[in-house]
Structure 1
Amino acid sequence: MTPELLRLLRTPEGMKALAAAAEVAGGEPLAAASALRAGGFGAELAAAALTQASLRERAAMKFGQVAAGMFFTRAGLEQATRAVVADRRAARLAAAGVRTLADLGCGLGADALAAARHGIAVHAVDADPTTAAMAAANAEAAGLADRITVECADATTVPVERYDAVFADPARRQAGRGRVFDPKAYSPPWDFIAALPRRVPRTVLKLAPGIDHGLLPPGAEGEWVSVGGDLVEAAFWCGPLAEVPRRAVLLGPNSVLTGAGNKSAGVGPVGAWIYDPDPAVVRSHLVAEFAESVGGRLADPQIAYVYTDDPVDTPFARRLGVTEVLPFSLKRLRALLRERGVGVLEIRKRGSALVPDQLRKDLRLSGPNTAGLVLTRVEGAPVALLTTSAM
């Protein structure tokens, strides 16, 4: 995709091609392409329209119905903030009094659109010409072009001090290399990103969920967000935007857990119930706070499984009933599962080097029943827990 091809897609002829592509999307690719060419569309326009139709179908998972009028690239869609996450962030910024926002690394405009819907005037910047053009097109398609200006520029050149707040989403992928895990390899570079809160106190940094807590600016809040159990991002809320040291946000159940992130949970024996905390809870280092919320304990201080003697309902973890506790032994476990007629086994693990798919083969499962298996450690020793289904 190029800016020129995007402009063609937005002409009356391009809109007709997009409508025709939407009707045949999901079918056999060659047949779909032939149908559009038979409709009088050139090969390049037909291919671009079919690509957009396919991406719009996929984007519905992140953006809902509005995806049908947006423009995407594959890489941009993968990195775009989910609409529910962007909306929550925008609402929090608006509640903090933010009226103007510099969006550095705006991508396809998901966060800019959300901020504009909450009444914030956004200056969105992206270094890639096609991406910037798509962000502008998406703002126009959403009827928000009066609140969003889009500039194709290097984020490091933006005079961010002119704005109430800064939102920065550095690129964490490199062409041909996939995901970038070292913040020093981000674009813009980490030194620039880390310095933003000193220039504009109300700064929010969107980062990878595995970001090192040690990179939190002094006094900043670290927030980890999951959607339906899928950990999607971390965000550092800086300066006056920080409210607590650590926050785990679960969208879906719409639940929030906060704490210092440096507490230690009590340690005790395996109980009748085991809880597998949401990854946002684990990544935010709030396992001790979660354990306290259910009156639970750890069986191993290094493993983030929590145990209780009585069942407690919670949105922050999956709960399983423990039916058997045994030191790990492949032979003994195989015999026990055969005795119980287990043919389907759901395997969870923490603190175990075993590979679940290989273990299933080694167990030679056979039978009509279903069970759960948790591979973990207790006091440093490997154990296997047979469990009921997750709740």
Structure 2
Amino acid sequence: MDHAELSALLTPEGLRLVDSLHISSTADAAAAVSRLRREGLSPDLVSAAVGQARLRERARAKFGPFADRMLFTRAGLEQATRLAVAARHAGRFRDAGMHRVADLGCGIGGDALGLAGIGLDVLAVDADEITAAIAAYNLAPFGDTARVRHGRAEDTPLDGIDGVWLDPARRTAGHGETRRLTASDYTPALPWAFDLARQLPTGIKLGPAYDRDDLPDDVEAQWISADGSTIELVLWSGALARPGIRRAALVLRGDTAAELTAAADASDAAERPLGAYLHEPDGAVIRARLIGEVARSLDAGMLAGGTAYMTSDDAKTTPFAATFRVREVLPLRTRDIDAVLRREAIGTLEIKKRGVDVDPAQFRKKLALSGPNSATLFLTRIGDRRAAVLADRV
């Protein structure tokens, strides 16, 4: 979005137009653009309004019904914290007895919404002028409780601030990064952010694949997953860090939450042969290196091969891992797998892989899936051999 589009959007006419549009597909967007241009509306207004309508549709996954009164940028929505997660972050500040919080790098205001929503005073700051203007619109219902400034995090006076929330901009898109991120991937620079965290209680939101070797020693590192996707790593300092906790995995599924905490990385459980059940640890657990804790709670061992899978003969379950009953172990060869899938009349197949260089999407195309039954297929290593494990979710 540029300044001309923003100016056209932030008018009564522009906002009414956005509210009137309901766009769920590219075809809907194209039809809306054609219709609005025929009605004589300016190109800037049409572009801004249709773009916002499409972003609102996408934003419902993060903000639910609140998305229908918010404005977004594409990058801001992508990096924004889900509202349910932002509320949990805000609770840390409240529980630590804080009243005035600076949200540095506020983006479109997702975390500031969480903070203001539980009654905290928020100073929201963003270095991008358009993004700051959109944050001001999104936070306007809170009045003086949530103030927005256009400026750099590094230049923001913090007199009277009890704690800081910092969401540095990533130079790679998205939150579910699989490549390892380092300090140079963030703005403002993480050395500055880590120094700030030593001066004031601070929460720093990073990509979940941030290089663990670069983690400060004096913070609590909390990895968070939501509905099966590991979405972020938060470093908590000072009064925001819980005593004795340096590693945490918070697992959110729908309206439920479970958290595993420890003073340090957990040692792995001993390896053991594949048993009757296979357990796949949640991504947050893997990132936090707490797999051993989960394995011991399941009376499970590590599956040989270094894949992070656990195995047991008991059907115990935990919110920190998905459990599967093993049906059959096969060589990782298409013809062998295909024969079993036909025999079992499997038409719906979930494919997972670890430790082998296989593209599940391409592998699926080689299979003749047909029938009323479903299963999960693990493509992995067991010891030094490649194997396929056919299993059912428990």
Query: What TM-score, normalized to structure 2?
Result: 0.90
Q: Is the 8 A contact 2:4 2:44 kept in 1?
A: no
Matching of residue 228 in structure 1 with residue 227 in structure 2: yes
Structure 1 residues 337 and 174: CA distance shift in structure 2, 3 A = closer
Partner of 2:84: 84
Match of 2:148, as an amino acid? V
CA contact (8 A) 2:298 2:318 kept: yes
Say which SS state the counterpart of residue 146 (structure 1) adopts. helix
Which residue of structure 2 lines up, in the alignment, with residue 258 of structure 1? Answer: 261
Q: 1:366, 1:148 → 2: CA distance? A: 56
Kindly state the Cα deviation for residue 305 of structure 1 after the two structures are TM-superposed. Answer: 1.0
SS in 1 for 2:143: coil
SS in 1 for 2:142: coil
State whether residues 219 and 242 of structure 1, in contact with CA within 8 Å, keep that contact through their aligned partners in structure 2: no
| 1:115 matched to 2:78 | no
Provide closer, same or farther for how the CA distance between residues 295 and 25 of structure 1 changes in structure 2, counting only shifts above 3 A: closer
Does residue 359 (structure 1) correspond to residue 363 (structure 2)? The answer is yes
User: Which amino acid counterpart does residue 250 of structure 1 have in structure 2?
Assistant: V
What fraction of aligned residue pairs are identical, expressed as a percent?
Answer: 42
Alpha-carbon distance in 1 for matches of 2:298, 2:159: 45
1:318–1:9 CA distance, 2 compared to 1 (3 A): same
Kept in 2: contact 1:161–1:199 (CA 8 A): no
Is 1:98 equivalent to 2:136 in the alignment? no
Letter in 2 for 1:194: F
Residue 144 of structure 1: aligned partner: 142
Shift of 1:99: 1.1
What secondary structure, in the 3-state scheme, does the structure 2 residue paired with 1:321 have? strand
Aligned match of 1:308: 312
The runs of 5 or more residues in structure 1 that have no matched partner are none
Shift in Å, 1:20: 3.3
Distance in 2 between residues matched to 1:224 and 1:191, nearest whole Å: 20
1:223 shift after superposition: 0.6
User: Which residue is equivalent to 1:239?
Assistant: 238
- Structure-1 residue corresponding to 2:194: 194
The alignment yields a C-alpha RMSD, in angstroms, of: 2.4
For structure 2, which runs of at least 5 residues remain unmatched after alignment?
none
AA matched with 1:163: I
1:30-79 alpha-carbon deviations (Å, 9 max, x no partner): 33123324545323212211111111111111111111111111111111
Indicate how the Cα distance of structure 1 residues 368 and 209 shifts in structure 2: closer, same or farther if over 3 A, else same.
same
Q: Which residue does the alignment assign to 1:51?
A: 51
Aligned match of 2:168: 170
Amino acid of the structure 1 residue aligned with 2:90: A
Q: Amino acid of the residue matched to residue 169 of structure 2?
A: A
Counterpart in 2 of 1:31? 31
Code of the residue aligned with 1:154 in structure 2: it is R
CA distance in 2, matches of 1:341, 1:117: 51
> What letter corresponds to residue 167 of structure 1 in structure 2?
W
Please give the secondary structure, in 1, of the residue aligned with 2:322.
Answer: strand
Preserved contact between residue 102 and residue 122 of structure 1 (Cα < 8 Å): yes
Q: Distance in 2 between matches of 1:45 and 1:72?
A: 15
Aligned-partner Cα distance in 2 for 1:265–1:134: 49
Q: Compared with structure 1, are the counterparts of its residues 366 and 28 closer, same or farther at alpha carbon in structure 2 (3 Å cutoff)?
A: closer
> TM-score, normalized by length of structure 1?
0.90
Call closer, same or farther: CA 1:4–1:121 in 2, change over 3 Å: farther
